[in-house]
Each structure stands twice: as structure tokens, then as C-alpha cells.
Structure 1
């Protein structure tokens, strides 16, 4: 799924949307309604990202909420070199990285999201196989380093360009490519039995 474009109307390719700039300036001046508009605009997208990175809805909600609280507090210092969307994505990504680093190395399969309810036309054996595949993928994902997992999810699930991932994570594009490559290799090896 490709990354969603920043909402609002931009002045040109790669420019920050005008509406975002106005809302950000107003929010930095203490306008709670402007900040609330930014939360409504970016919140759902960030929650999906955090859920994919963390694999746990509760932790994802906490990470996004913490990120918005942090953004509100630091907004007066925001220089606007990047757009608000890029800035808040980086804050959420960093929060998720911190959570992933703090976890034990053992995968907690209780946090694996349940697969969608099986279609009544699907046999119980097929439904069990789908569930087992989802658990195996979650265990394989847990085997990745937090940095590999973040880069892989942003690239392969969210469709974020390498350049943007490098900016969000604070590393070079080459390092992003290397982490995505290693993650792909680890996941391919771990899931070989499921092909």
C-alpha cells in the first residue's frame, strides 16, 4: 500500500501543504483547535503505522498519543524545515523504535493480531493454516532488530520511499536499503516452510 500524500494544497512538488503550514503556525501560537485539526488529519495514519510497527494496538495508541503530546509541547520550537506531517511521523517512528528496543527478545504471540474472521466457505483446516501463518510471520518479525523492522514496515507495508525513511529514522539511504535487504532475507528464511 503506498504512503498517503500529505493532505492540503501544496505550492509545488515536495512543498509543504499550505493548510498544514497555517495550522502549524496557529497551533504553535497556542491555538488548540488548529492542533486538533492536525491530530485529526494525521492521527489515523499514524495509528496504522504504529500498529504495524509494534503489532499491538494498545502500545500503538500510547505511542501516537505520546508523540502528539510531545509535538504540542515542542511546537513553539518547530522550525518548519520539513512539514508537520514529516515531523510527527518521525516522532511516532522514534517512539515505536524506543518501544521495540525496550521489549525482550522473545516474541509475545499474545499480541499478534487475530486474522480476519474466516469466510464461511473456507474450511477449518485452511483457517487454522492462515492463523498459523500469521503467528509464524509475527514470530519472524519479532526476530528482526527494531531498526530492521521499522525500515521494512515503512518500505514494504507503507510504501514509503527510501529517502523519506532515511529522514524519518535519521540514517542514510544506503543504511535503509541494507536494513530492508537484511529484513527481507531473514523473513524469507523464516517463512520458507510456508511457501
Structure 2
């Protein structure tokens, strides 16, 4: 059996047992989605890279603490989100800085871009507004929305990732969506404020309606 054919649990167990290649294979398998979560949670590529590195060092060293209560990927996401939130809580990131101009370019696959240059300009402008609004949310709400609405994980799994109750995840998402609805009111035609809980989705940006949320966009 090749490394690629081994399950996540087998790779993690092999790493704990001393296999020098297993953790690298495991991380490579999930790197794109972990990076997307870190980048969308923190908003700055350098901060996201630092948080992801801290998280993977922690996971590498604490691999034996995984007891199988949740999937390995859920455990990895928990480590990454905790690293991101730790950076926010300890004021290690520049929370007042605007999101970088190329943030969504890093997340968007080329084939997802509209062919019409005018459509590209409109989509990019709206996308920037959505990402900037997301950055205004409290870190815990932002993390919940990134995982549920942008990455498409079930609420129950996100509760495991964030180490909190299902009701807490739902509450954070509801408050975050309501706040986003106010911030994104400018996106609606005529400037009407969208109804709380259902902010408008800009072209190219995942909807905040979990029933329509697509799988996570991976970095290009």
C-alpha cells in the first residue's frame, strides 16, 4: 500500500510510531483547505502562514493526543483554528489593517473568473467588500462562518473543531450573519439592508446560506 492509499488515521499512527514521512503526507493531503481556513480567518497571508506553521508544529508534536473521538481532519482543523484565534487574542496580528488586494486572487481558481472584463471588475469589487466585512467580525464568529458557510462543514463537525457546543456554533453563525447583513447592505440594489441571517452573496463568493454553501475554495 502506498502512502497515498493509507488513511489519515493510519498516517497519524505511523507518525507517532516514528515514520519520518507519514506526517508530511498527511499535511500535504489537507494543506489547501487548512490554508484557506487560516487565510480567511486572519485575512493576512503572512499571519495565516505563521498561524498554519504554528499549528502544524503543534500537531506534529501532539499527534499522540489524538484519541479517535473525531476524524483526523477535524482534529487538524481544530489545531489550525486555535492557532488563528490565539494570534487574535494575543494581538499578534494587525487587526486594523485592510485585507490585501490580492487575497481572493490567492483563493480563486482561474477557471472560476468570468470571461467578461467588466464582470470581472464588478465581481472583484463585491468580493473585496465581502471579505472586508468578514474581517470586521469578532474572531470567534468569523471562524464559525468560515468553517460552516465558506468551507461547507456540518455544524456538528465545526463544534468539534471549535471545541464548543453545537448551539454555540449556531449562535455565532447567526450573530455573524446578522452583522454581515448590515455590513453588506450596500451590495443590494437600491441600498436596502438585507434581512438578518441571509446576507446577499456577491458573485464568486460562497453564500452564507449553509444549505447552498459549496465546498471550500482552495488556494490557487
Mapping 1:132-147, distance limit 5 Å: 132-147=125-140
Partner Cα distance (1:71, 1:64) in 2: 10
Partner Cα distance (1:120, 1:20) in 2: 39
For structure 2, list consecutive stretches of 5 or more residues without a partner in the other structure. Answer: 189-220
More moved, 100-109 vs 151-160: 100-109
Is 1:42 aligned to 2:30, yes or no?
yes
Higher helix share: 1
Tell me if structure 2 keeps the 8 A contact 1:107–1:143.
no
Report the equivalent of 2:165.
172
Report the equivalent of 1:4.
none
Shift of 1:131: 4.0
2:164 aligned counterpart, secondary structure = coil
More moved, 174-183 vs 69-78: 69-78
Q: TM (normalized to structure 1)?
A: 0.78
Q: TM (normalized to structure 2)?
A: 0.70
Paired residues in the alignment total 178
Report the equivalent of 1:15.
none
More moved, 47-56 vs 72-81: 72-81
Cα 1:183/1:122, change in 2 over 3 Å: same
Report the equivalent of 1:149.
142
For structure 1, list consecutive stretches of 5 or more residues without a partner in the other structure. Answer: 1-6, 9-17
Residue from 181, 197, 204 that aligns with 1:188: 181
Structure 1 segments of 4+ aligned residues over 6 angstroms from their partners = none
Mapping 1:87-106, distance limit 5 Å: 87-101=75-89, 102=91, 103=93, 105-106=95-96
Partner Cα distance (2:115, 2:68) in 1: 51
Mapping 1:1-195, distance limit 5 Å: 19-101=7-89, 102=91, 103=93, 105-110=95-100, 113=103, 121-123=116-118, 128-195=121-188
Partner Cα distance (1:122, 1:183) in 2: 32
